[in-house]
Amino acid sequence: MGLLAVCAGPGVAGECPIQLRDVTRETGITFVHTDGSSGRRYMFEPMSAGVALFDYDGDGDTDIYFLNGAPLKGTSVDVPPTNALYRNEGGFRFTDVTREAGVGDTGYGLGVAVGDYDNDGRLDLYLNNYGPNVLYRNNGDGTFTDVTRQAGVANGNEVGAGANFLDIDKDGRLDLFVSNYIAWSYDSHIVHNRTGHSVYSGPRDYPKNRNALYRNNGDGTFTDVTADSGIGAHEGAGMGTVCGDYDNDGDTDIIVGNDDWGNSLFRNDGAGRFDEVGLAAGIAYDLAGGAQSSMGVACADYDNDGWLDFHVTSYQHELATLYRNLGNGLFEDVTRVSRAQAGTLPHVTWGNGFADFDNDGDRDLFIACGHLQDNVELYDDSTSYHARNLVLMNTGDGKFVNVSDQCGDGLAVKASSRGAGFDDLDNDGRIDVVILNSRREPTILRNESPRGNHWIQILLRGAKTNRDGVGAHVTVVAGDLAQLDEVHSGQGYQSHYGLRLHFGLGRRDRVDRIEVRWVGGGTDVVENVAVDQRLMIVEGANPRALGPKP
Amino acid sequence: MALKAEAFEVGRQLIEDFPQDPEAMALMASVCNQYDQTAEAVTWWQKCLERNPRHAGAYHGLGTVALTKGENEKAAELWRKAQEADPDLPGAYRGCAVALLLSGNPDQAIVELEKEMKLSPGRREDYVLLGQAHLQLQAYEKAVENYEKAIAIRPDPTACYGLATAYARLGRHDKAAEYRARFEQVEAKQDRLFGAGDRTADNRAVAVQILIRTHAGAGRMYYARGRLEQAERHGRRVAALDPKDQASRQVLVDLYTRAGRAQEALEMCRQLQEIDPANPTYHLNAGFVLGRLGQFDAAEEAVWKGIRLAPAQPTGYRALVQVLLLANRHLSQAGAAARKLVELEPTAGNLTLLGEVYLRTGDLAGARAALKQACELEPGNETLRKAYERLQPGE
């Protein structure tokens, strides 16, 4: 199908069915990211950070938490920068509630995950920093308490990356996976020179590191099971991570994108012990056997075949890679044949996510771009530090088409983007986008795609299993369309989004069946469901409508 | 930084010396492109095409830039233009194939790769690319076939990984495991070779290679245009930058020999002999130059080394005949060598050389017979005919 034909979908003739508008200035968000740099080029400065989208106050709309850098050695500031929490007031207006919520961590923020680790019905926040990490327990009154010390999850003094809550042993409690980057210190710090220009060093300049896994003891504390679980047997340079049941065996596996080393796929034996099978599964390396400089890892069933696929962003001159799950434990790099490579080669690509922006029943791809080297244009004019992000529209036949030039002014923004999150910020049934840009204000994209297609959003409430259904598989069947999704805590580029599942349905005006397979629990089935609504499915109980049509 | 400046200075000087010459523009474009100044590279290649719209190298370069920018369809189109301009241009079909592979057209890529392989058969990278194309088409048996050919030439991680992938898809798990293990071995070896930090493009070795290519290209240009002084300067710079570079030294041997600078030619020959002692040509060249210098014993010794390395090749016997004729000694040995030469390669030139040996030894009949045969091989060659007539009785 040609681009013109694709862009003559529902809505205005000839207009791309995906329309994303830059509404940053209208949101009231004043956050500006800093990487704490002072010209010394500490190697993780340009990694910048992720962003978390979650409903911290349980009021039914999605709030935004931005990570921030911190002054590094040689930098002095009067007021240290902090992370920032913005409460969603509705109508795309946000209020900075960082101080009152008590989540203004001044550590060097890199990665974030959200999960209700104590199953009290409130979403807690884990920050993966350079330096000690932080666990904020949600008090349920709009405030958080730093419980890192009592929980035992500070994770030393590592250079952090992605993080995820997941239930490794199906005991109904969320455990914690912490991705660590390389073993870096101020003493081992080096800078490279590129034709007379000072440039940041790379992951191969430093020793690899191992990731960490903490088992939830159920009493507010965690036990480090890195060694016992098998996770510690493998080193890498972990960046983005996602946890997903890739082999459909009912437990949650872990996928880690490693920077310039093969990606890791930790297969769960169901009891919380993991084997690393990335190479054998075909997801460690790209089609050519190349270890990519993996950045973000996103997960979804893009081809609606009932198996979770993975998308991994990477460095300039590498393709952001789409791994199709073949369903037999193997993955196929379909980047080229699916056209998912479009636009990625000249850029460093970071935040990523599958989202059905046009609600047509298949998931599109959003890719955040921007070079790592802030002076790259001085020695390489084929790329740029500030770059436009990419939207690849799923054409429903296993292929994508780059519609970035046709889908609104939101994609005209040039920044050096990093983490990205995807959720319906205004509860209008369309997935919006939040992008953390390195060294500047974020970009908020409002989805203004033409209405007409139907959708359904599903929020899970575990009873015996973990409270938010993290790891649960949800299958939505509407007529000839069957879609699978999974609840994730932490994904993309060191970011968090996706506790609320969103399914585009195209013109189908009734959902025939929703099946929820809980991690460590049974399966619930709901039938004959109205479309265009947000629905809460409670484990073992009747579903509850959360909201009328917007 | 100095290396980069030097490369650009070479390009700038070429443009100054040959302002209308598309080759100078192409070289300047190549320097810019290698230093990631793609906009300037494109400008120079476009200027080059204005002067010579059939400059295949310029299309090739433009294709490379387009590929770098992820403009795969455009890249494929540019390489097709390169093919039209010069159907024998090495790499033009491969470049097109890579662009087609990247744009998700493995079937079309295979067609291009097959053309490339007709042009220059047996290249490992072409088998690897064919393997990748078949893998994407899910033609796993064909993928295996091509990857196997690639690793038969040299095991590399890409081919080993491709084999592991293809065998896994075919359900041949033992073979898949075997090639995964080989992949890990080869990959680990590569990691050790690169070492920490060396994968970044800022290392000096990369800049030196760019400079070598630039000087070598400039040297060839000046040489072809009769500017021998400049050609020599660039050749010497390449030789200084790369103590192992053979091409620049060969050009210098040729240049010095033509200029009658036998001593300098001999020095280059000696360097080439040291760099690649198993290459018979270098010993034969040294023998020829030594003969020019009147060092006949050393000349004969060098030539015999060359002959021993390639006894079935005519070049060694030809060099021996030439040296012995020059020395005017061991003419019976020269006769035997000339006859062997004609046996291996019965050309008019070699028969003439045999005739010359016969003449020197007073065997006029033998000389006549050799020249007669030469004339029969090249009936239109007037020089030969006159030489033969001069050998007739009464002449």
A201-226 average pLDDT score? 97
Q: What is the pLDDT of residue B190?
A: 65
Window 319-348 of A: residues touching B by CB (8 A cutoff) are 319, 330, 332, 336-339, 341-346
- What is the Cα–Cα distance from A317 to A273, expressed in whole angstroms? 36
Residue with tokens 């990477």: A314
What is the token pair recorded at B111? 């067609």
Per the DSSP assignment, residues forming a β-bridge with A533 are A456
Whether A78 and chain B come into contact, CB under 8 Å, resolves to: no
Instruction: Determine how β-strand A533-538 pairs with β-strand A454-461.
Output: parallel
Looking at the predicted structure, is the pLDDT value of residue A243 above 80? Answer: yes
Confidence of residue B201 (pLDDT cuts 50, 70, 90): very low
Q: Which residues of B touch A346 (CB under 8 A)?
A: 68-70
Looking at the predicted structure, is the pLDDT value of residue B323 above 90? Answer: yes
Q: What is the DSSP letter of A450?
A: P
Q: What is the pLDDT of residue B187?
A: 82
- What is the Cα–Cα distance from B91 to A110, expressed in whole angstroms? 44
B72-93 average pLDDT score? 97
Q: What is the pLDDT of residue A460?
A: 98
User: Which residue in chain B has the smallest CA separation from A379?
Assistant: B36
Q: What is the pLDDT of residue A325?
A: 98
- What is the Cα–Cα distance from B294 to B284, expressed in whole angstroms? 15
3-state SS assignment for residue A307:
coil
Residue count of chain A, please give it. Answer: 550
Looking at the predicted structure, is the pLDDT value of residue B226 above 70? Answer: yes
Q: What is the pLDDT of residue A10?
A: 41
CB contact under 8 A, B180 and A279: yes
Q: What is the pLDDT of residue A76?
A: 84
Looking at the predicted structure, is the pLDDT value of residue A5 above 50? Answer: no
Starting at the edge strand that comes first in sequence, how are the strands of the sheet with A238-244 ordered?
Answer: A238-244, A253-258, A264-268, A274-276
pLDDT digits (tens, 9 = 90+) for B247-278: 999 999 999 998 899 999 999 999 999 999 99
Estimate to the nearest angstrom the gap between the alpha carbon of B171 and the chain centroid. Answer: 42
pLDDT digits (tens, 9 = 90+) for B114-127: 999 999 999 999 99
Q: What is the pLDDT of residue B322?
A: 94
pLDDT above 70 as % of chain B: 95
Enumerate residues 6+ apart whose C-beta is below 8 A from B218. Answer: B10, B11, B13, B14, B27, B230, B234
A351-380 average pLDDT score? 97
- What is the Cα–Cα distance from A437 to A199, expressed in whole angstroms? 20
Estimate to the nearest angstrom the gap between the alpha carbon of A458 and the chain centroid. Answer: 18
- What is the Cα–Cα distance from B270 to A330, expressed in whole angstroms? 57
- Structure ipTM: 0.92
CB distance B180 to A279 below 8 Å: yes
CB contact under 8 A, B136 and A337: yes
A294's enclosing H/E stretch is none
Q: How far is A396 from chain B (nearest CA, A)?
A: 16
Q: What is the pLDDT of residue A339?
A: 96
Q: What is the pLDDT of residue B200?
A: 42
Residue at A86: amino acid letter: Y
Q: What is the pLDDT of residue B395?
A: 56
Q: How high does pLDDT run on average in chain B?
A: 93
Q: Which residues of B touch A289 (CB under 8 A)?
A: 157-158, 160-162, 183, 187
What is the token pair recorded at A39? 């010209």
Instruction: Determine how β-strand A321-325 pairs with β-strand A309-312.
Output: antiparallel
Q: What is the pLDDT of residue B193?
A: 46
Q: What is the pLDDT of residue B394?
A: 67
Starting at the edge strand that comes first in sequence, how are the strands of the sheet with A390-394 ordered?
Answer: A349-355, A364-369, A390-394, A400-402
Q: List the one residue out of A549, A517, A506, A515 whose CA is nearest residue A530.
A: A549
Confidence of residue B177 (pLDDT cuts 50, 70, 90): very high
What angle separates helix B157-169 from helix B173-194, to the nearest 10 degrees?
A: 160
CB distance A412 to A78 below 8 Å: no
Q: Which residues of B touch A291 (CB under 8 A)?
A: 187
Q: Residue A202: which of B65, B68, B199 has the nearest Cβ?
A: B199
Dihedrals phi, psi of B227, to nearest 5 degrees: -95, 80
pLDDT digits (tens, 9 = 90+) for A482-527: 999 999 999 999 999 999 999 999 999 999 999 999 999 999 999 9
Looking at the predicted structure, is the pLDDT value of residue A8 above 70? Answer: no
3-state SS assignment for residue A505:
strand
Interface mutation vs chain A, best among B32, B202, B206, most A CBs within 10 Å: B202
The b/e string for B316-355 (b: 16+ C-beta within 10 A; e otherwise) is: bbbbbbbbbbebeebbeebbebbbbbbebeeebebbbbbb
CB distance A90 to A96 below 8 Å: no
Q: Which residues of B touch A192 (CB under 8 A)?
A: 197, 200, 202
Enumerate residues 6+ apart whose C-beta is below 8 A from B206. Answer: none
Q: How high does pLDDT run on average in chain A?
A: 95
CB contact under 8 A, A337 and B201: no
3-state SS assignment for residue B341:
helix
Q: Residue A204: which of B36, B37, B197 has the nearest Cβ?
A: B197
| Percent helix, strand and coil across chain B, each to the nearest 5 | 80, 0, 20
Looking at the predicted structure, is the pLDDT value of residue B73 above 90? Answer: yes
Dihedrals phi, psi of A321, to nearest 5 degrees: -110, 135
- What is the Cα–Cα distance from A69 to A32, expressed in whole angstroms? 10
The b/e string for A339-375 (b: 16+ C-beta within 10 A; e otherwise) is: bbbbbbbbbbbbbbbbbbbbbbbbbbbbbbbbbbbbe
Q: Which residues of B touch A378 (CB under 8 A)?
A: none
Residue with tokens 């060659």: B381
Looking at the predicted structure, is the pLDDT value of residue B86 above 50? Answer: yes
Instruction: Determine how β-strand A222-224 pairs with β-strand A191-194.
Output: unpaired
CB contact under 8 A, B132 and A288: yes
Q: List the one residue out of A365, A374, A320, A379 whose CA is nearest residue A347.
A: A320
CB distance B299 to B262 below 8 Å: no
Instruction: Determine how β-strand A160-166 pairs with β-strand A51-54.
Output: unpaired
- What is the Cα–Cα distance from B296 to B289, expressed in whole angstroms? 10
3-state SS assignment for residue B85:
helix
- What is the Cα–Cα distance from A382 to A317, expressed in whole angstroms? 10
pLDDT above 90 as % of chain B: 90
Confidence of residue A14 (pLDDT cuts 50, 70, 90): low
What is the token pair recorded at B177? 């495991």
CB contact under 8 A, B169 and A330: yes
B153-162 average pLDDT score? 94
A88-110 average pLDDT score? 98
pLDDT above 90 as % of chain A: 93
Q: What is the pLDDT of residue A218?
A: 97
pLDDT digits (tens, 9 = 90+) for B183-199: 999 887 765 544 444 44
Q: List the one residue out of A401, A385, A398, A344 whose CA is nearest residue A367.
A: A344
Enumerate residues 6+ apart whose C-beta is below 8 A from B315. Answer: B280, B281, B284, B306
User: CA distances (Å), A245 to each of A10, A297, B169, B373, in order?
Assistant: 34, 14, 21, 82
∠ CA A409-B74-A397, nearest 5°, is 65
3-state SS assignment for residue A502:
strand
3-state SS assignment for residue B305:
helix
The rounded radius of gyration (Å) of the Cα atoms in chain B is 27
Q: What is the pLDDT of residue B234?
A: 96
CB contact under 8 A, B158 and A290: yes
pLDDT digits (tens, 9 = 90+) for B58-71: 999 999 999 999 99
CB contact under 8 A, B36 and A381: yes
A138-156 average pLDDT score? 98
Q: What is the pLDDT of residue A546?
A: 82
- What is the Cα–Cα distance from B275 to A305, expressed in whole angstroms? 59
Q: What is the DSSP letter of A232?
A: G
- What is the Cα–Cα distance from A500 to A169, expressed in whole angstroms? 23
Q: What is the pLDDT of residue A2?
A: 40
Q: How far is A72 from chain B (nearest CA, A)?
A: 23
CB contact under 8 A, A330 and B202: no
Q: List the one residue out of A176, A249, A231, A248 whose CA is nearest residue A466.
A: A176
Q: What is the pLDDT of residue A542?
A: 83
Q: Residue B39: which of A330, A379, A381 has the nearest Cβ?
A: A381
CB distance A170 to A251 below 8 Å: yes
A533-540 average pLDDT score? 96
3-state SS assignment for residue A21:
strand
Q: Residue A346: which of B68, B132, B200 has the nearest Cβ?
A: B68
Confidence of residue B204 (pLDDT cuts 50, 70, 90): confident
- What is the Cα–Cα distance from A174 to A194, expressed in whole angstroms? 45
Enumerate residues 6+ apart whose C-beta is below 8 A from B385. Answer: B375
- What is the Cα–Cα distance from B316 to B298, expressed in whole angstroms? 15
The rounded radius of gyration (Å) of the Cα atoms in chain A is 21
Q: What is the pLDDT of residue B221?
A: 95
3-state SS assignment for residue B14:
helix
Per the DSSP assignment, residues forming a β-bridge with A177 are A164, A213
Q: What is the pLDDT of residue A11?
A: 40
What is the token pair recorded at A312? 């991994």
pLDDT digits (tens, 9 = 90+) for B3-57: 999 999 999 999 999 999 999 999 999 999 999 999 999 999 999 999 999 999 9
Residue with tokens 């993955």: A331
Window 178-197 of A: residues touching B by CB (8 A cutoff) are 190, 192-196
CB distance A234 to A226 below 8 Å: no
